[in-house]
Structure 1
Amino acid sequence: HGNIGIYTGDTTQAIFTDEECSILAGRVVYLLSCLTAVKLGPAVIDAGGITYIGFNISWTWMAQNITADPYDDWYAEGFYRSSNECPIALIQGDTVSAAEDRSIAEYNRWIEIWETERSGDPYAASAIAWLIYDRDGLTVLGDQSATIIQTIEGCTIGEDGKAYRVQSLVLGAGELTDSKVTVALGMKVDGAVNKVYERSFNRSPGHDPPGLWIINGTVGIHEALAVKVKSNNPDDAGKTVEASLSRDRSIFTFSVADPYV
């Protein structure tokens, strides 16, 4: 919940206000709340926030059972899936602009559902009207190119067109702070990377081993293998990750250095 200059979450107690929001400096902020785009959103940007995403209207939804899981509710599902598409997109690494587009597209998808397959419902017209109302109230302020996933660096193992065996691949992530680390592997063919594997790890330094086992067991590689590491902690950007590769019973250790797109 909230209003033009205050965000309260699920209670009536202030969490952020337009006068006390400096804690959001350096962050991408998404607030599912009424009217916060009017005063609180601009205040977040003025306080050093990277991006604010929220609503300039009283965000409204319909429900059969207000206490039930909205994803299980005939009316509420579309409203919550549409609004949640934005933070989901950010978590998946999209830019703010792409996340906004995905949310709007999800609103439009549900509007079409109510216009077609659910058109016989007596409240279909209301569902359409409120979905349009919420969609058009979505507001973005600040840097639309921002992401919440920080790319650290990447490297390429092997050469295009040459087959070889990898018996293990371990990434040394001891320098990474508390964060979620995502490792993507891809075959690099003629300069283009096709992702073939991706896995995420929750890192807690001092508790988790510094090494992340990406490959444990012999794997045949037929082209250059591209490795990309991402972290959702901005403090990890630019840090060095070391990769230890066991190939044909030999160990190669090198710093991850050459980013690829």
Structure 2
Amino acid sequence: MNRTILVTRPSHDQTTRCISAWAGEVLDFAVKRGDTVIDLAKDRANRKEFESVLDKKDPSMVFFNGHGDESRVGGQDNETLVDTQNSSRLSGKVVYALACKSGQLLGPVSIEHGTAAYVGYNEDFIFMTEPDKRTHPLDDKTAALFMGPSNQVVISLLKGQTAQEAHIHSRKAFFRSIRKLMTSKTSLADSSALRFLYWDATVQACYGDGRM
């Protein structure tokens, strides 16, 4: 069954450049499965275009990448794409927000307004990178420890699993990254990564249990 997925991929600082590059792995996976991907990358990740796609294409899933806070998720240059005031626009959709803190308020409010499911983070999403890989984020093995588990949310949803199942699979992937580091020779940097991987796994939250 062909489904339409809306992805926002701002790229205005080091954080958004990295997470948006890794989101591209999920886009490739979706296209290979025959799904339709609408990619709002860089300057296209603005509120006007985002709302236009919601109205005209009615995607079954929205995958946000960007900065956020308790009540909003941002796009290019951190322009607000969705907040608690317009979360009804997500009604009927399955949402994954790779953005800090939006699970605190935006997640539950969007469910009240009809969102099928919302997976996000109740606190900051923290990840580490290798300085010499900043221009080639997909070659960054440290970032991969974090981005792989994050991408697992969307991959699981694309495979037909429910949001709760996707949330569980993602958390398990974070713990696999932890075990991978623990069974290797651990450096000081790895010790920090262990702490942040555990943090991300525990602050990821899921509201609702819809599927695509």
Q: TM-score surpassing 0.5?
A: yes
Corresponding residue of 1:14 = 80
Unaligned residue ranges in structure 2 (runs of 5+): 1-66
TM-score by length of 1: 0.53
Corresponding residue of 1:147 = 211
CA–CA distance in structure 2, aligned partners of residues 11 and 46 of structure 1? 28
Identity %: 28
CA–CA distance in structure 2, aligned partners of residues 76 and 10 of structure 1? 21
Q: 1:10 to 1:109 in 2, by over 3 A?
A: farther
CA–CA distance in structure 2, aligned partners of residues 25 and 77 of structure 1? 32
**Structure with bigger RCO (C-alpha 8 Å, 6+ apart):** 2
Q: 1:25 to 1:130 in 2, by over 3 A?
A: same
Letter in 1 for 2:157: L
| Higher helix proportion (structure 1 or 2) | 2
Q: How do 1:1-261 and structure 2 match up within 5 A? A: 1-65=67-131, 67-117=134-184, 119-142=185-208, 144=209, 146-148=210-212
Deviation at 1:121, TM superposition (A): 2.4
Unaligned residue ranges in structure 1 (runs of 5+): 149-261
Letter in 2 for 1:135: A
Deviation at 1:10, TM superposition (A): 4.5
CA–CA distance in structure 2, aligned partners of residues 56 and 28 of structure 1? 17
CA–CA distance in structure 2, aligned partners of residues 95 and 80 of structure 1? 20
Structural RMSD (CA): 1.4
CA–CA distance in structure 1, aligned partners of residues 163 and 136 of structure 2? 27
CA–CA distance in structure 1, aligned partners of residues 203 and 187 of structure 2? 25
